[in-house]
Chain A
Amino acid sequence: MTVDAGNPGRGDVAGISAAARERSVKAQTIRDAAAAVDRAIGEANGSVWTGKARESFVAAATILTAELHTSADRLDAEASAFNTYGFGVQEIQNAQRTLELRREEVQGDLARCGHRQDQAERDARATLPLSAESDEAYARSRLLKGQIDDLHGQSAAIEREWGALVERRRSVNATAIASLSGTSVLGPLSMITRGGASVDQVLTQLSAVDLLTLLRTDPSYADRLRAADPSAVAGWWPGLGHSGQDALIAAFPALIGNLEGIAYTARDRANRIWLRQQLADVRNQIDNQSFGSGAGGYGGSGGYETETAIAAALARLRGLEAIQTALRAPKGHAERFLISLTDDKPPLAAVSVGNLDTADSVTWAVPGMGSSAEGLPDWAVASQNLQESQTTVDPDNQHAVVAWVGYNAPPVGGPQVLGTDYAKAGAVNLAASLDGFTATRPVAGLNVVAHSYGTTTASIALTSASVHVDTFVSVGSAGLAPSIDRASDLHADQVFAGQAQDVWLVDPAPGDQWAWFGRAFGDHPVNPVSDSFGAQTFGVDSGAGGAPVTDHGVNVEAGSGYGYLDLNTESIRNVAYATTGQATAITPAVDHGPTPFQQAIIGASGAY
């Protein structure tokens, strides 16, 4: 903001007034529209129309009326700011004109007096010294000098007033800027313009219309919203009303579908929209062979990049299609919801079996090595098995299980599974997801069941300060980080662990072929079924309470044995008991001695 010191009254007052008038007229037009909507609400009574759509109409129209009035108020405030500004500029222009006239007059007088004084001096020199003529000429010169001094004083005063006028214009400008950027003109968006307000403070003040406006005028604000406190989001979302929520879901499905604190059914609707959009996008990319500027044509220097890009696009497509498959609940089974979806390549996603908005108890199921969106249909089956087992052992409560593929798991066969980098990164995502649930459903029960490398990931998440769950269950653990060597290190009221007989791949005996490998050779050696860890262990292959686990997997192909989360196994029943507060019903673990094969190879040393 700089004021032109040579023209402090700069501006077109008539134009400013016209802008103010235009906004006032618009405000009135919008108020008339609000009144019409109000009348329509009044007319939509039970004698005209009954039913759910009428209720939805009244709710949507009521919010619309309020928002129309808000817009009219803001336009009026803008008009008022322009009027005040125009008035201020007009006053400055008037004062400027007066000062300019005075300055012109004083400068003219100064020129005239200077000329007359020069003449008086010449007259004095042309006459005889000490003569009457000489005295008169000198007297005239002195008088004129006095007048000139006085005029210089007046000129300095005019310049001081001019400086004050420049300052006044600065003040008028500052007032106008404050008004145009203030709450009365911008509403809660003024907090962003002014800066300093936290995203939570801003969010709680925003209506759906304001948020839509904000995200369209400043799309980068979506990134800040993602960092909002889920509790603030959970408090804000219901107040938007269905029409506002619907508008946000339709306009920004990727944001709303993954914003922690928003109701999960709303997130499901948003994520399904975004899933369709992503599918259309990647299919279009493949159909049109558009793989970015870095990818050249086949046979050229960019051939490798093209193939890589095509492989990435196909992997993304397979992942997205698998998510779509995972969302199809078999007939007679609990409904499924897409509670999170990313645009990672391949995508990350979470599908809940059962409604997270209404379930009394929710279990996050965290998979291990090799898990990805492509495997989500299988993981959803395992989650469904668990949800149904929970319902069987605890029929009075409503259960939901989240098939959570929300992190990049280490690939099968790679050395990454022996480290904790993937687990640490995944733990951040899992902690955020659990925090979001706690904020959205503070009263509902919350459990985590993790398998294999998923136990490494989940255990790190459960050491986060903000995270707390009722129950953590580890099955077939690939080991926990050395810093987590006690069940009490985990923010869980109860910790359970189940482990099948450890066997080598070549061992013909049934059992878990992989979990021991991660514990023995990885950076995560802590075995949660060890006595020193202090978890409550349970049987998975004791022969009591269900079929024994014969494989490291969670759901094994029928006829090929049993995994940890196959139906009717001892393992899944115990997990169900553990996650429904029925620890006393759990069957105990058995001591696994060496298998005959192990005995044959290394004797009975137990060093397998």
Chain B
Amino acid sequence: MADLRLDAGTLASIASQVQGGSDALVWNLHRAGFGVLGDDGVADAADDAFQRQKVRTSVLEASVNTAAAYPAHVADRFDDTDSRLARSMQ
């Protein structure tokens, strides 16, 4: 089933809303180490959680890009078709 763009403005807004998610996923948290937590065991557990959340966030960033690419590609394809059509009519 070929894709059909009916509302270019909303399609662009969809892509932008999804892509905006990557800003939220920029990793800006700080590691709470032994100096703050005061215990080796707690610091190790906190570090493990920190590492996994950090990696998970980068994986999600890629997922955001993948999802945002669908409307973006459709928009690009239609824009390209439109411009080629316009050129051929001239």
Binding site for B on A (CB under 8 A): 1-3, 9-12, 15-16, 19, 22-23, 26, 29-30, 32-34, 36-37, 39-40, 43-44, 46-54, 56-57, 60-61, 63-64, 67-68, 71, 74-75, 78, 82, 85, 89, 169, 173, 176-177, 180-181, 185-186, 189, 193, 209-210, 212-213, 216-217, 243, 246-247
Contacts and interface: CB of A to CB of B under 8 A. Distances in A.
A49 B39 contact: no
A48 B2 contact: no
Nearest to A250: B62
Chain A: interface secondary structure?
Answer: helix
A64 B67 contact: yes
Given A60-B67, A67-B63, A176-B45, A23 B29 contact: yes
Contacts of A189: 52
Contact of B39 (A3, A19, A54): A3
A71 B57 contact: yes
Interface of B: 1-7, 10-11, 13-14, 17-18, 20-21, 23-25, 28-30, 32, 35-42, 45-46, 48-49, 51-53, 55-57, 59-60, 62-64, 66-67, 70-71, 73-74
A52 B42 CA distance: 48
Q: Ordered nearest first, which 9 A-B pairs have the shortest CB separation?
A: A11-B38, A51-B3, A1-B41, A57-B70, A15-B36, A33-B24, A10-B38, A180-B45, A33-B21
Contacts of B53: 71, 74-75, 78
A181 B45 CA distance: 6
Contacts of B40: 1-2
Chain B: interface secondary structure?
Answer: helix
A26 B17 CA distance: 18
Nearest to A78: B49
Contacts of A23: 29
A213 B66 contact: no
B6 to A, nearest CB: 6
Contacts of A29: 24
A61 to B, nearest CB: 5
Contacts of A32: 24
Contacts of B18: 36-37, 40, 61, 64
A53 B3 contact: yes
B36 A12 contact: yes
Contacts of B17: 36-37, 39-40, 43
Contacts of B6: 46-50
A209 B55 CA distance: 10
A299 to B, nearest CB: 48
Nearest to A2: B40
A1 B42 contact: yes
Given A33-B20, A50-B4, A75-B53, A173 B32 contact: no
Contacts of A67: 60, 63
B24 A217 contact: no
A177 B25 contact: no
A33 to B, nearest CB: 4
A45 to B, nearest CB: 9
